[in-house]
């Protein structure tokens, strides 16, 4: 299991482009596999990956995730391929639907038939990321073109998928999935079997399973869970994450997070390996003084 670090979803990486670049350099020096950038309402994750990738030499970059609805698939493909060139091929594009409250209430777009939207989106963007021409006519997208970006190679694609329809699409058209607020029991019993079956039926290789969870090595577990409950409360309310928390049998993000002393945290990391996670996306939540370094040190020792 590869271990990477999340930037943009917690305070761990700091704020601003320079902070992300510095975080990526630190992660590369420590030997981490990947920096995953969240794309919320701040810095554009794909663009930030290009900037940080230009200033590093080994570490992979990925988005977790870039919402599809606001971006035409050809535009996002063009941006992703360009970013991959800037990263010297060390870039994975992660895409997702986002949430109804964002797409409809904030952006004023329709969130009707999200699986149908993603189905069409993938049939346009997936070939473009492989360097292939697209000739597609659907209800939402009608595209006939090819991209020509000097130095481009194939860009891996993963899809944020939690429900059966999305997992089927991810296994059929993409290289894997990335999850957030989804625990090991749910990954083992639901995520891995569903996407693996779809990938097998489509003749694709075993899918990449990227699992993002909050994590911290701390002496004060109660205080840590209380802080996480406050900072990440929204993820217990959004329907897609709420469904995964309910499936896991936990009340909210605080209970799902990997929190505790070194032995406890190591045990939870091993459990992720055991259930089929290929990539752990560690979203460090700094609590008391020293907890950030203690967590980085432990994660580094697990590489």
Per-residue confidence (pLDDT) for residue 140, from 0 to 100: 96
Per-residue confidence (pLDDT) for residue 292, from 0 to 100: 96
Distance (Å, whole) CA 30 – CA 18: 18
Residue 95, CB-side half-sphere exposure with 13 Å CA sphere: 28
Per-residue confidence (pLDDT) for residue 8, from 0 to 100: 83
Per-residue confidence (pLDDT) for residue 15, from 0 to 100: 84
Please list the pLDDT of the chain residue by residue as tens digits (303 residues): 999 999 987 778 888 999 999 999 999 999 999 999 999 899 999 999 999 999 999 999 999 999 999 999 999 999 999 999 999 999 999 999 999 999 999 999 999 999 999 999 999 999 999 999 999 999 999 999 999 999 999 999 999 999 999 999 999 999 999 999 999 999 999 999 999 999 999 999 999 999 999 999 999 999 999 999 999 999 999 999 999 999 999 999 999 999 999 999 999 999 999 999 999 999 999 999 999 999 999 999 999
2-301 domain in CATH 3.40.50.300? no
Runs of H (alpha helix) within 68-108: 73-86, 100
How would you classify the pairing of strands 157-159 and 91-96?
parallel
Partnered with residue 176 across adjacent β-strands are 208
Per-residue confidence (pLDDT) for residue 232, from 0 to 100: 93
Residue 229, CB-side half-sphere exposure with 13 Å CA sphere: 11
Distance (Å, whole) CA 294 – CA 41: 29
pTM of structure: 0.97
Distance (Å, whole) CA 100 – CA 57: 38
Partnered with residue 94 across adjacent β-strands are 158
Cβ neighbour number for residue 14 with a 10 Å cutoff: 11
Least Cα distance to 124 among 142, 149, 148 occurs for 142
Least Cα distance to 209 among 221, 225, 193 occurs for 193
Distance (Å, whole) CA 261 – CA 224: 12
DSSP state of 234: G
């Amino acid at each position: 299991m590869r271990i990477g670090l999340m930037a943009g979803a917690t305070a761990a990486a700091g704020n601003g482009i320079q902070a992300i670049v510095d975080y990526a350099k630190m992660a590369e020096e420590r030997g981490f596999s990947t920096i995953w950038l969240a794309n919320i309402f701040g810095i554009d994750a794909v663009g930030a990956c290009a900037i940080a990738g230009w200033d590093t030499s080994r570490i992979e970059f990925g988005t977790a995730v870039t919402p599809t609805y606001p971006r035409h698939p050809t535009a996002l493909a063009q941006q992703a391929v360009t970013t991959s060139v800037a990263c010297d091929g060390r870039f994975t594009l992660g895409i997702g639907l986002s949430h109804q409250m964002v797409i409809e209430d904030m952006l004023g777009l329709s969130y009707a038939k999200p699986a149908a939207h993603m189905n069409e989106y993938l049939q346009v963007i997936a070939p473009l990321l492989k360097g292939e021409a697209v000739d597609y006519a659907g209800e939402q997208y009608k595209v006939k073109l090819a991209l020509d970006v000097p130095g481009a190679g194939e860009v891996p694609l993963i899809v944020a998928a939690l429900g059966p329809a999305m997992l089927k699409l991810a296994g059929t058209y993409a290289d894997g999935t990335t999850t957030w607020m989804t625990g090991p029991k749910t990954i083992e019993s639901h995520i891995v079997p569903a996407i693996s079956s779809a990938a097998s039926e489509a003749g694709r290789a075993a899918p990449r399973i990227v699992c993002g969870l909050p994590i911290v090595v701390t002496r004060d577990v109660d205080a840590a869970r209380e802080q996480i409950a406050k900072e990440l409360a929204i993820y217990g309310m959004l329907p897609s994450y709420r469904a995964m928390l309910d499936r896991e049998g936990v009340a909210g993000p605080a209970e799902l997070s990997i929190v505790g002393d070194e032995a406890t945290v190591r045990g939870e990391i091993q459990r992720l390996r055991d259930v089929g996670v290929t990539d752990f996306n560690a979203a460090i939540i700094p609590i008391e003084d020293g907890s950030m370094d203690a967590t980085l040190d432990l994660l580094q020792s697990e590489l």
